[in-house]
Chain A
């Protein structure tokens, strides 16, 4: 039996176990989480060890599906995403054990366990599927299981709203873009196997290639959270249980990236203009995401917006790759894709950790409102350490993993700005400036988050705070370890990264060694990480040695500039911490501020409220969907409740179908093939036959 089956079988078994033992929640949870952990470990094993020797592994599953045979395949790209899934699902499973036993979470534990197994199974199948049907089935399973997991606490209104927004958005993306894209691909290749798409599209006209790419960016981009298709993300991610938020932000949105990369691997070189459009989309997504994150007050909402930013960063790498392909710059292409893929893994690890930490904060204090927290570094020192590791990693500072992917992206864009034509170079330079400012804003956002929640004095009653259960701490510790290890040991997984990049590149490039050159550049910064850590350790030793015997260490209150009775409410709040930045960017992201100043000689009432609403949601999508709802209301008279009318509708629909069928019949694949076989227009591709026939018909 192949090891590839393990990641599929274990979640299935876990789901069965969770459902069979649903009368005993703890047993059910333990079995299911154990199964997920084993499946995650198996994913990592398949990605790193089992797969290391062979380039590709195809495994036909012998359960018959309509239209196609189900096939799973592990190539470099799938293996990379398996690594991402495995790296996150093991800690999430460990964390869930403690998290689900909190007093507020005890209901419906077996359902949670089964759904989490289903989600992990669906994620694994999405990246392993080698044909359209299995891919779409897995894709849909993923969306639905995530929907039920997000809506777990459905007594709360915002949870229901978030879950439904997610469901609608993901189906709009799938229905309006992903399905049509696969329809085009299947029609072109007369096959539903992924392996046939590349050959069918190799000689496609630019318009078809651009069209397929655009559909992929819209359809998969809805899942990934590109602006303006991001609106579901800040609604759904914050309301989900924290382990689910971690999986959603860490892996589920990355399946959108996987879809785009997989599609790009089938497409021939795209025009450079499309690369520039993608670059601009990436800049808008990234800057929009981080500017909104900056203004948030709820920790998990802040993290959700920051996920949008990071998806923008990943898209920046993809755009660099597309630009490199269009202009025949292999180094730019390899660095761009490598940076994007490495950031997918890094973001899964540190954003997963951040969401788990947010869950620990909410578990401890009952609130995720940063302005009501503070000082948790003293009540929960280990949680603070894990959060700090993740925050530093997401700010891309050395010596953690986040730096390495941004390093590759900066390098790609620097190569782009030195090697391309002036206009394209200027686009690359704009990408660099955007990445730089995103870096600065991310640093501001996460110093705000860490500082307001963990530092200073508590703004909540510490006596009522709960300790973090050990398994939650273990889960977070695992991910922190991953942040450090992926930084220091990145050269060790560079070959895997190179194999993943090679799947996307045309066949000629991998042989030239440019990919391994690109991923090999990770070794030097990783070496410098050791240097930083060495100096830090040396300085700690030095400080311990300074001062000599007589040097006393004293503890005193914080210097309040002469004020003797500071209270926790006098601390700088998170809102004021970012006020100056938000003010500077108010033309990009408008703020809503309501101030009632204190008045009179003895003022006792005054209030100030500020918020950063998502204008795209409030002024574009909300009116749009309200309009759709009104239009649907107008259609209601059709539903008259009389059988005769319904029969009339049926007949009308049938007639319409016949009409459409007779119109399209001459262009159907069979007819075209038959004509081609009969000797007319043997060499003409099918689509051209259609157009000429269509014109002659008219």
Chain B
């Protein structure tokens, strides 16, 4: 098993690292289909990143080393989180009991540096985006952690790969409603954390209304490539977390399970693209309610799972 695992881990890691831009491409194609357009080529996000990596950089005169460290620390935090979140197969590289907390705080580390890099420019627009990012980040935090509580109680484990592993299939049978609520809460967290409609519109061209895009206005060249890749990676990580919770695979599906996960990730991207094509974004002062809704969902799920698992 361990030899086999060693043989599969490298290809899996390579696929996982290469996949995120493709998911962005799926979303773009879906939106193009809804709008009746052909859309950009499937590999466009890869071309964009390669081009950015070869370009020069423009730094604002106001900025300091914090601005240069921002994209790198953000990407490093997400890459580290990727070693603990199961994406395709149910296994992870470096899990340990309690790693859920580390994953959540690695996301926080990424946010901290993205926000500080934005504030480093001294631009009021980027300050505005940074302010919104910390506000909505704060509000999605309880939803995320209460979801972890539900998963921990349902699976009696504190290790993320086990918390979203095969035991969840049993949990869906015993505490189905709670799992449904958690899946709902995680969907909201996914949309908020990855700055998608209805929380943020990645395609808007008005700085006043943006959240994520306005924070990275001044980044260019390789830095911007890191940022785009990190955003796609974050989408994939939170998306896989959601998929593992919503559609648990039984143990021992092997390669079929991996292929199925790939398909599911693609479908998730299509769904997000469909949401973006058919919905408008919420008014900014409605977003806190939306996020509080996620906390309420996961709080209810916690109540259900606590009563059911002891009763």
Contact = CB atoms under 8 A, between A and B. Distances in A.
Interface string A375-401: 101100100100010001001111000
Given A407-B98, A451-B116, A539-B75, A558 B60 contact: yes
B123 A558 contact: yes
A683 B106 CA distance: 60
Contacts of A378: 64
A436 B56 contact: no
A384 B119 CA distance: 14
Nearest to B67: A455
Nearest to B146: A433
A406 B94 CA distance: 20
Contacts of B111: 443
Contact of A388 (B66, B101, B126): B66
Contacts of A396: 105, 108
Interface string B97-115: 1111110111011011001
Given A444-B138, A539-B76, A558-B62, A531 B101 contact: no
Contacts of B218: 558-559
Interface string A577-621: 111110110000000000000000000000000000000000000
Interface residues of A, number: 82
Interface stretch (B13-21, B39-47, B128-136): B128-136
Contact of A543 (B128, B132, B222, B285): B222
A429 B304 CA distance: 12
Interface stretch (A30-38, A41-49, A216-224, A411-419): A411-419
Interface stretch (A8-16, A227-235, A347-355, A568-576): A568-576
A528 B98 CA distance: 12
Interface in A507-547: 521, 524-525, 528, 531-532, 535-536, 539-540, 543, 546-547
B235 interface: no
B204 interface: no
B165 to A, nearest CB: 16
B197 interface: no
Contact of B127 (A432, A577, A581): A577
Contacts of A571: 122-124, 127
B175 interface: no
B153 interface: yes
A633 interface: no
Interface stretch (A172-180, A548-556, A659-667): A548-556
B58 A456 contact: no
Contact of A403 (B75, B105, B135, B207): B105
A455 B105 contact: no
Contact of A570 (B124, B139, B307): B124
A540 B72 contact: yes
Contacts of A384: 64, 66
B98 A425 contact: no
A422 B307 contact: yes
A417 B56 contact: no
A55 B111 CA distance: 44
B285 to A, nearest CB: 8
A456 B119 contact: yes
**Chain B, interface SS category:** helix
A543 B130 CA distance: 24
Contact of B288 (A525, A559, A579, A584): A584
B72 A536 contact: yes
A492 interface: no
A571 B124 CA distance: 5
B149 A532 contact: no
A410 interface: yes
Task: With a 10 A CB-CB cut-off, give which of B108, B128, B158, B221 has the most chain A CB atoms.
Answer: B108
Contacts of B99: 524
B306 A429 contact: yes
B236 interface: no
B303 to A, nearest CB: 7
B191 to A, nearest CB: 17
Contacts of A303: none
A98 interface: no
Given A551-B56, A580-B135, A456 B122 contact: yes
A439 interface: yes
A421 B153 CA distance: 12
A566 interface: yes
A528 B72 contact: no
Nearest to A441: B138
B102 A528 contact: yes
B306 A581 contact: no
B119 to A, nearest CB: 3
Given A410-B101, A456-B62, A558-B60, A439 B106 contact: no
A440 B64 contact: no
Contact of A437 (B115, B125, B142): B142
Task: With a 10 A CB-CB cut-off, give which of A395, A414, A547, A576 has the most chain B CB atoms.
Answer: A414
Interface stretch (B77-85, B180-188, B246-254, B265-273): B77-85
Contacts of B105: 396-398, 403, 406, 439
Interface string B189-227: 000000000000000000100000000011001110010
27 contacts: A377-B66, A381-B65, A411-B101, A414-B152, A415-B158, A417-B306, A418-B156, A426-B306, A429-B302, A433-B146, A440-B139, A447-B119, A456-B127, A528-B80, A528-B94, A531-B83, A531-B94, A532-B106, A546-B54, A552-B57, A555-B61, A556-B60, A557-B61, A558-B63, A558-B121, A577-B134, A578-B131
The 8 closest A-B pairs by CB, nearest first: A572-B127, A440-B138, A451-B119, A456-B122, A436-B145, A397-B109, A552-B56, A524-B96
Interface of B: 53-66, 72-73, 75-77, 79-80, 83, 94, 96-102, 104-106, 108-109, 111-112, 115-116, 119-128, 130-132, 134-135, 137-139, 141-142, 144-146, 148-149, 152-153, 156, 158, 207, 217-218, 221-223, 226, 284-285, 288, 295, 299, 302-303, 306-307, 310-311
Given A421-B310, A451-B120, A539-B75, 15 more contacts: A374-B122, A411-B98, A414-B148, A414-B152, A414-B158, A426-B302, A433-B142, A433-B146, A455-B64, A521-B98, A543-B226, A556-B60, A560-B123, A572-B131, A580-B132
